A and B are shown apart, each in its own frame.
Chain A
Amino acid sequence: MVGAAGAMKQAMAKAKPDEFVKIERISKRFDDALAVDDVSLTVNRGEIFALLGGSGSGKSTLLRMLAGFERPSEGRVLLDGQDLTDLPPHQRPINMMFQSYALFPHMTVEQNIAFGLKQDRMSKAEIKDRVAEMLKLVRMSEYARRKPHQLSGGQRQRVALARSLAKSPKLLLLDEPMGALDKKLRSQMQLELVEIIERVGVTCIMVTHDQEEAMTMAQRIAIMHQGWIAQVGTPMDIYESPASRHVAEFVGSVNIFEGELTVDMEDHAIIECPKLDRPIYIGHGISTRAEDRHTIFALRPEKVWVSPDKPDQEYNWAHGEVHDIAYLGGHSVYYIKLDSGLIVQAFFANSERRMPRMTWDDKVYISWENDSGVVLPS
């Protein structure tokens, strides 16, 4: 569910790497706080790119600098070769869909969509055609005469999207696009939004704090943390090969084991972890500096096997008991307390109805395969 679509899109994007948006060493200082700290990014033509991060990570400030609402303290923004840094928002070929949608409350749906076109002094007939076309695109034609307060949340979002696409911007910005919708509507609207954006073919940068949303919608994701970019990559890159402990912990759940690297060969490596019964065996070499043997090993919960039987492998297992279980419907999360006291999460797919399962205080073994985990820089 998490990245299959993204991987496909990424393959497409790789076919024509065309640098469209270039953010060059941009910083933003508010009083004494550095909201965005020396960020450089490149977004390709036709790509949907997500800035993912928690609150205060600087993602919104970065987006507002692209729209022109904030002026960077340092650095430049280039769009299709044009330097936008000093242009005010109303002169930028960029349009934004706001988190609150920011529809003009005193105007009808039609007037909202026509607003941007009128600023370009288009003829009445052209505006009419364009508005009709946009209404059709977002399937809102029958609501043209309504006022925003007569629309549901999902309908408002579509109007906001139509309004921001009406001027055929070079770049579309989405600020927490699903932020104002309830959970049920989100997954449906995520796919619909992507479909419309891809049909129009506009380059798009979105900001979100929801990793599922970023992974569903975007071809590439930048993880932001404390004003700088922690990692840029496809959803699969970020989930399966996190660049740091912070990224691994921010995206999805993860078990972290700390240990000493004792063997580091061309084709395998071994980490001694005092909290585990057996050492960790990795099916490839790790090129670390020889003097620092301290290593962090990250293992996703869905890659952990739980079984009452002792595994017949030499490495990659530990003994413990079931400490707690969270039944989530599609899967359960088992919290296994190892003999060393460390608690490990494991996902367990509930693929059968009412099958016999391990329960509280059962003695169990956890195990994993050689290439299931990732070694992170400490």
Chain B
Amino acid sequence: MSKLTSRLLPTGRFWVISAPYLWLFLFFLLPFAIVLKISFSEAAIAIPPYQPLLEYAEQSLSIAINLGNYIFLSEDSLYYAAYLGSLKIALFSTLICLALGYPMAYAITRAPRDKQLIYLLLIMMPTWTAILIRVYAWMGILSTNGLLNSTLMWAGLIDSPLQILNTDTAVYIGVVYAYLPFMILPLYANLIKHDDTLLEAAMDLGAGKIKAFWKITVPLSRSGIIAGSMLVFIPVVGEFVVPELLGGPETLMIGRVLWQEFFNNRDWPVASALAIVMLALLLIPIILFHYNQSRAMERNA
């Protein structure tokens, strides 16, 4: 097929590839180079608020590479704590999503075919809704005089309202709530392709139901687990909305810190340096995700 299209369509083929290629190159890849560049420059009170890296002065091109931003990051424990906090929250949220999402995805695959579509629709619909609104919904529930506290107090379980909003607990609730569907969908896509006769064969050969599940179903769903986990882990590391609205002042997540550096402090070079370090941290998960995806896609093609 490759040769076919290639031969038939020297010009058409060129455009099919180059239109999306150019767009993504220009508006996705190239910007990273600029972020990298600016992360090496110095902040200034100007428009834009940084010193140019290349200076054409006195007929000679001088390149001022300035590692100051990175040194600044390494010296301030705030950033260190923010990266660590992000990774910790992302890791535990991923595990919680996996623990909740796997049985849910599994239950959907076991449902009758026409019901599966309805369940999937129900899982998918929240992902199409603004994360902002879904997180906002929790603000009303979790606040000190919110619905959760009033219910608990009415039931007599607690005497005084619990402080949930503006804590890490609220962040976990919000993140799991927002990202659970992204775990379920790839798991479902993987589990639905499993051949039921494999489980029957395992049980026929004497494995119990639970053992068959752990020895057959779970290993075979590896690529779904990877895809789901990466779809949760990577964006959560850079998450901004959830910690901003549900987290407290001590909830340090890098997305929020970056936002503050950029919008509040207007320090573009430090924000750039923060982004570059975050990208470096996420490089391995992103490559893992991409490798997993393209293998799945090749199996499709």
Q: Report A's interface with B, CB cutoff 8 A.
A: 68-71, 88-90
Contacts and interface: CB of A to CB of B under 8 A. Distances in A.
Q: Assign chain B's interface to a size class.
A: under 10
Interface of B: 1, 3-4, 7-8
Contacts of B7: 71, 88
Contacts of B1: 69
Nearest to A64: B4
A145 B179 CA distance: 48
A88 B6 CA distance: 10
Contacts of B8: 88-90
3 smallest beta-carbon distances between A and B, as pairs: A88-B8, A71-B3, A69-B4
A71 B8 CA distance: 11
13 contacts: A68-B4, A69-B1, A69-B4, A70-B3, A70-B4, A71-B3, A71-B7, A88-B4, A88-B7, A88-B8, A89-B4, A89-B8, A90-B8
Contacts of A71: 3, 7
Contacts of B4: 68-70, 88-89
A187 B7 CA distance: 39
A68 B8 CA distance: 10
A71 B7 CA distance: 9
Nearest to A71: B3
A70 B3 CA distance: 7
Given A69-B4, A88-B8, 11 more contacts: A68-B4, A69-B1, A70-B3, A70-B4, A71-B3, A71-B7, A88-B4, A88-B7, A89-B4, A89-B8, A90-B8
Contacts of B3: 70-71
A196 to B, nearest CB: 29
A68 B3 CA distance: 10
Nearest to A86: B7
A199 to B, nearest CB: 32
Nearest to B8: A88
Nearest to B6: A71
B11 to A, nearest CB: 13
Nearest to A91: B8
A266 to B, nearest CB: 55
A88 B8 CA distance: 6
B16 to A, nearest CB: 16
A205 to B, nearest CB: 19
Contacts of A89: 4, 8
A39 B55 CA distance: 66
Nearest to B1: A69
B254 to A, nearest CB: 44
A68 B4 CA distance: 8
A89 B5 CA distance: 11
Nearest to B3: A71
Nearest to B4: A69
B2 to A, nearest CB: 10
A265 to B, nearest CB: 56
Nearest to A68: B4
A89 B1 CA distance: 12
A224 to B, nearest CB: 21
Contacts of A90: 8
B9 to A, nearest CB: 9
A290 to B, nearest CB: 50
A285 B140 CA distance: 101
A243 to B, nearest CB: 33
